[in-house]
Structure 1
């Protein structure tokens, strides 16, 4: 029996959790892990757990956080937004810092590597098992300069990592006098940029590949379909191994049901879609402004009133994707929960996308 309990505890310790990052500390940021919503209906506000880590850094730069390498959260937090400084890498499983590096802001992780897209260049961060001076756990970390992208990185609106080949897809829109607009690929083995067409990926920000359904999934970029999911079949982008420069625009579908909150007392601010890793499960972390509303609009649980005063909240919607009988994408098993955004969080971080990781 003791051995079984020990195994159970070890299994629980390996379970993934949703991590939220706030800049609600006077010296920088806090990292908290929260429970995903359960049950079949909307529930009242849940208590935000205390932070298990405080990370010093310039506030208002939450988009400098990224993750890669399994259970590591990387924070490229300069003491000044225009300066290079130490970049802490924190392993959430080991509850310890792995290493410090210099730089950056990130765009994507791929097969144990991390790519950083800057204003004028692309760099690769990778690790090896060779121990270097100052490294921890026998790992060496280093940056490598890659070919400059043919577009202005500040114009990037969506991107995805193809599962079958070493290819990152990036769509860039017009930005200042940027003449290169459309969708591009970067072949990570050959370090070659290629323009694939004037068309754009339909996603707003990152698209996740759902291996169970064989589709890329993301939030719609079209203002007319704000709050809806859209998807592209993997087959539509299966020309990643083709030598043809021009690709046809991929076919894509829209999920008819809006995923953002429809409560009249909740105003949408921003949202981040998080893929939960398997079985077509996702979590939408939506920042809303909860207005002071009437009693019949207030969230209730067990007959008790929820939040009554105006505030910012994170609305967590856990759901599973599937196809209906007509072949349309639909969400099922939707579960919704709420966490109040700490009052000390900066206005800059509230306006940005919620920073959430499934690790």
Structure 2
């Protein structure tokens, strides 16, 4: 009896599960035009973000990861049309003007890009898709996806997620069902808003916001704000 008991005790000790490995800490890398000679790459600890919208923005205290010397977007001369490009030539013209693009999202099939914009012919709000393998555009209907800018597919929700576009829902996250690639709909897919208002465009310090997908159904909201000590030019708000 004594030997069996000791044997069972040894078995219990050796069967102990190993401790789970600690998940690596996630960081976000931002490309900012905060250098007079070009751009800076900043490393941000997303776990240290303060979600309190009343907290004033803080300046970066640590040096940038790297700096890229290049002309700013407002100052570069026109690009060299003779420079080599790595893009495939698309014979069919865009069904919309670039300035009319409101939002876009990649379909979970990995090859189809959905774009909501004004129609080139009738100037009607419409949603199109581009097949990156066939290099063809398709028209899905005279309706718009409910996003502002880029939206991302979330596999856990089986839906696109982005920032809401409408003025009444500005500052909220929005999720939208993904339409079939071959479908032509008479109305937009079903969508709904998140419960919490993430930011306010009415703030005098607000400059813009962007949603970034971090993977594994995690998102990071980047809000660009004026610092309270910045000297704002008249009419800049």
Whether TM exceeds 0.5 here: the answer is yes
1:38 aligns with 2:34: no
Alignment check: 8 A CA contact 2:29 2:42 kept: yes
Which aligned pairs between 1:3-152 and structure 2 lie closer than 5 A? 17-38=27-48, 42=52, 45=58, 47-60=60-73, 79-80=76-77, 82-84=78-80, 142-146=86-90, 147-152=92-97
Partner of 1:319: none
**Residue in structure 1 matched with residue 105 of structure 2 by the alignment:** 160
CA deviation vs aligned residue, 1:196-253 (integer Å, no higher than 9, x gap): 111001000000111122111111110111101111123xx1x11x3x4446420110
Find the residue that maps to 2:88 and give its secondary structure.
Answer: strand
Instruction: State the match for 1:96 in structure 2.
Output: none
Describe the shift of the 1:85–1:284 C-alpha distance in structure 2 as closer, same or farther (beyond 3 A): farther
Q: Helix, strand or coil for the counterpart of 2:146?
A: coil
- Greater strand proportion: 1
Q: Any idea what SS the aligned residue of 1:206 has?
A: strand
- Cross-structure match for 1:340: none
Shift of 1:255: 1.3
Contact 2:26–2:46 (Cα < 8 Å) also in 1: no
| CA separation of 1:218 and 1:198: change in aligned 2, threshold 3 A | same
Shift of 1:288: 2.2
Given the superposition, is the C-alpha separation of residues 281 and 21 from structure 1 closer, same or farther in structure 2, using an over 3 Å criterion? same
Unmatched tracts of structure 2, length 5 or more: 1-20
Secondary structure in 2 matching 1:145: coil
TM-score normalised by length of structure 1: 0.51
**Residue aligning to 1:334:** none
Alignment coverage as a number of residue pairs:
210
Q: 1:20 to 1:164 in 2, by over 3 A?
A: same
Q: In the alignment, which residue of structure 2 is the partner of 1:272? A: 210
Do the aligned residues in 2 keep the contact of 1:158 with 1:172 (CA within 8 Å)? Answer: yes
Name which of structure 1's ranges 40-49 and 148-157 shifts more when overlaid on structure 2. Answer: 40-49
Partner of 1:287: 224
Stretches of structure 1 lacking an aligned partner (at least 5 in a row): 1-7, 62-77, 87-100, 104-141, 292-309, 313-342, 352-359
Distance 1:188 1:41, change over 3 A: closer
Q: In 2, are the aligned partners of 1:151 and 1:178 still within 8 Å (CA)? A: no
Residues 185, 50 of structure 1: alpha-carbon distance in 2 compared, 3 angstrom cutoff: same
What displacement does 1:48 show? 3.6
State the partner residue of 2:7: none
Shift of 1:290: 4.6
Deviation at 1:272, TM superposition (A): 0.7
Answer yes or no: is 1:311 the counterpart of 2:230: yes
